[in-house]
């Protein structure tokens, strides 16, 4: 039997280049080698207060995220896509897992602390938000994943999963599969505004579904070296988002080296550097746009999810039964 992968995305909006280099590239690489499960984490989306409104259409968001994955080259005949909300066994497993993790342990998860600070949540976060890491653990364990390709910021969630499994084994002899983590080649892509991370909430993304005009506008307005006032001024390459993107997306490495050398000497302007970056990013996004046309049929997308939900419910029920038996719960 093939080993299994579980990975996925919050359905809080369209996916961007950070998702692509942080996780999607690894999904594509492994889809033939592993039995791959990709979760559309729509329940996780409700952890954020701004999505708890009648105007939010998480169903529509889920279809967009599914479309983004398929457009990148994931094959629905080989990969199992499912909605978190479509597998109630996950919630039951989550409830059990939550009994093995303390509030202080959750508050030590860096992702939780960072988001509370970065998004200025103060005390305005729900129990669902604090349950975010434990629900992610239930997602992973529901299909018995061997490998979890994630962005760098999600690594602490996997560490929490392992801690919970250790406690369950020590207390009840419950032995579930301990997943390995795989971080993408670019674990965290900076935002177009120079912020430490490209993220939808900061509006500093280049989306996989952006038009060519939208991409060009975003690239040409990217943050560069703020101390460089004229093209003839020597510029800083290190930490410069435009050059970070060149290193990631521009396959012409000789061109990148030339641009860096001229930039540090004050012999090239930001416009030329950004125009060449735009061309490099377009080489990545053009085939994604072309493939996206194949998946505009909403009924087809829903059929993919219905089949995936049924498959995962069957798998999750086996694991849930095993856990409940070990806990001596009456079935």
DSSP per residue over 152-168, as a string?
GGGHHHHHHHHHHHHHH
Q: Is residue 204 part of a domain?
A: no
**Do 316 and 220 fall within a single domain?**
no
Per-residue pLDDT band for 303 (boundaries 50, 70, 90) equals very high
Half-sphere exposure of 56 (CA within 13 A, CB side): 16
Query: What per-residue confidence (pLDDT) applies to 86?
Result: 96
Q: Is residue 69 part of a domain?
A: yes
* Per-chain mean pLDDT for the chain: 92
**Do 9 and 131 fall within a single domain?**
yes
**Any residues with CB less than 8 A from the CB of 123 and at least 6 apart, and which?**
none
Cα–Cα distance for residue pair 217/195, rounded to 1 Å:
18
**Do 256 and 319 fall within a single domain?**
no
Q: Is residue 28 part of a domain?
A: yes
Q: Which two tokens stand for residue 35?
A: 């039995």
Query: What per-residue confidence (pLDDT) applies to 9?
Result: 92
Q: Is residue 157 part of a domain?
A: yes
**Do 73 and 128 fall within a single domain?**
yes
Cα–Cα distance for residue pair 278/201, rounded to 1 Å:
23
**Mean pLDDT across the stretch 146-164?**
87
**Do 34 and 123 fall within a single domain?**
yes
| Best CA proximity match to 62, nearest among 87, 50, 74, 45 | 45
For residue 279, the cross-strand partners are none
H-run or E-run covering 6:
strand 4-10
Cα–Cα distance for residue pair 144/316, rounded to 1 Å:
8
8-23 per-position pLDDT tens digit: 999 988 999 999 998 8
| Best CA proximity match to 82, nearest among 139, 137, 129 | 139
- The boundaries of the domain holding residue 245 are 210-291
Q: Which two tokens stand for residue 105?
A: 């342990």
**Do 68 and 215 fall within a single domain?**
no
**Do 303 and 285 fall within a single domain?**
no
Query: What per-residue confidence (pLDDT) applies to 37?
Result: 97
Q: Is residue 304 part of a domain?
A: yes
Q: How many folded domains does the chain comprise?
A: 2
CATH number, domain of 269, equals: 1.10.240.10
**Do 168 and 260 fall within a single domain?**
no
| Cβ burial, residue 302 (10 Å; 0-12/13-18/19+) | middle
**Do 219 and 160 fall within a single domain?**
no
Secondary structure letter of residue 200 according to DSSP = G
**Do 287 and 302 fall within a single domain?**
no
Cα–Cα distance for residue pair 64/227, rounded to 1 Å:
39
62-115 per-position pLDDT tens digit: 999 999 999 999 999 999 999 999 999 999 999 999 999 999 999 899 888 887
CATH number, domain of 16, equals: 3.40.50.620
CB-based contact 60:13 (threshold 8 Å) = no
Q: Is residue 201 part of a domain?
A: no
CB-based contact 219:279 (threshold 8 Å) = no
**Any residues with CB less than 8 A from the CB of 47 and at least 6 apart, and which?**
125, 126, 128, 129, 131, 132
Q: Is residue 270 part of a domain?
A: yes
Per-residue pLDDT band for 117 (boundaries 50, 70, 90) equals confident
Q: Is residue 54 part of a domain?
A: yes
**Do 126 and 250 fall within a single domain?**
no
**Mean pLDDT across the stretch 137-161?**
89
**Do 74 and 151 fall within a single domain?**
yes
Q: Which two tokens stand for residue 41?
A: 């984490």
Per-residue pLDDT band for 178 (boundaries 50, 70, 90) equals confident
Q: Which two tokens stand for residue 313?
A: 């419910």
Query: What per-residue confidence (pLDDT) applies to 3?
Result: 94
**Mean pLDDT across the stretch 203-232?**
94
């Amino acid at each position: 039997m093939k080993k299994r992968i579980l990975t996925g995305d919050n359905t809080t909006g369209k996916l961007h280049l950070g998702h692509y280099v942080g996780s999607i590239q690894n999904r594509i690489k492994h889809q033939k080698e592993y039995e791959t499960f990709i979760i559309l984490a729509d329940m996780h989306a409700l952890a954020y207060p701004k999505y708890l409104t009648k105007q939010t259409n998480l169903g529509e968001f889920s279809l967009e995220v599914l479309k983004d994955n398929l457009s990148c080259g994931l094959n629905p005949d080989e990969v199992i896509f499912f909605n978190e909300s479509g597998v109630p066994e996950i919630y039951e497993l989550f409830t059990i897992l939550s009994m093995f993790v303390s509030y202080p342990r959750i508050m030590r998860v860096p992702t939780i602390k960072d988001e509370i600070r970065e998004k200025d949540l103060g005390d305005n976060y729900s129990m669902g938000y604090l349950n975010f890491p434990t629900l992610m653990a239930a997602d992973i364990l529901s299909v018995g994943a061997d490998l979890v390709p994630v962005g760098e910021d999600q690594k602490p969630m996997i560490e929490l999963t392992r801690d919970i499994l250790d406690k369950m084994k020590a207390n009840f002899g419950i032995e579930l599969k301990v997943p390995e983590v795989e971080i993408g080649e670019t674990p965290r892509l900076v935002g177009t505004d120079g912020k430490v991370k490209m993220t939808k909430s900061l509006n500093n993304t280049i989306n996989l579904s952006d038009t060519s005009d939208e991409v060009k506008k975003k690239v040409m307005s990217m943050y560069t070296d703020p101390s460089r006032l004229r093209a003839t001024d020597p510029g800083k390459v290190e930490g410069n988002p435009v050059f970070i993107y060149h290193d990631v997306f521009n396959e012409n490495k000789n061109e990148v080296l030339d641009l860096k050398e001229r930039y540090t000497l004050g012999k090239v302007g930001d416009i030329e550097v950004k125009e060449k970056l735009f061309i490099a990013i377009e080489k990545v996004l053009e085939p994604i746009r072309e493939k996206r046309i194949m998946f505009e049929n909403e009924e087809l997308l829903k059929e993919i999810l219905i089949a995936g939900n049924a498959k995962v419910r069957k798998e999750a029920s086996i694991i849930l039964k095993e856990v409940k038996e070990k806990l001596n719960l009456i079935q």
